[in-house]
Structure 1
């Protein structure tokens, strides 16, 4: 990458040599920054998950990179819908490695059950979906693992 750019720059006319070297260095820095961004995004995606929590017969479908912190936030009233009381939520299932796009897909998939925000009515269809996740190896259903 950088060496290729330097080698190319050496072929430039002598009076534009400094300009070529600076351009090569700038290109290398841009490439390194891009690679670093991709690496961070890949790591973040690997730590991301979609979760399903229940409170008062409603299910919240969300995503996070820190499940323990997110469950604590939800237990203290974060993201309540009108009429819902503050209190702990029950973790039903997670999909590890899933991120915002997966969460958005699930929101569209269950849009007909949406009651507000990211909260959905826990009917037979959604319950069956969550139960299927609980039986798969990608799901975490033990509340102790989240704590």
Structure 2
């Protein structure tokens, strides 16, 4: 069952800063989920998934489980060139609500759980559920929060 409650105003989810220090903020809407939440993260969690993970962690809205995220914290834009090709240019950096720059740092999970090494080169979708230590820990954490 999904529960939500209104908050006075949206919460800061992420902000960016360009090289001149200009800051741009992104906030949530006024609805706030009020349910147990566990997010699985690892070294392949990057960019948008790190933004979500950082906001959840900074606002203490859930538990991050797994290993440190990738650390992709750059905002890039493509400048189209006259010949139709393009040049990708970094224009800003992402920061979590508490001011942590994600780039090259990643986000540490609240609970570190390594996957079995035999699955290290497989997509997580191919890890058998019965062998997925991270998923098992997430289920345990959610069950503890429910009771």
Structure index of larger Rg: 1
Q: Is the pair's TM-score, using the shorter chain for normalization, greater than 0.5?
A: no
The TM-score with structure 2 as length reference comes to 0.24
Q: What TM-score results when the alignment is normalised by the length of structure 1?
A: 0.24
**Larger helix percent:** 1
More strand by share: 2
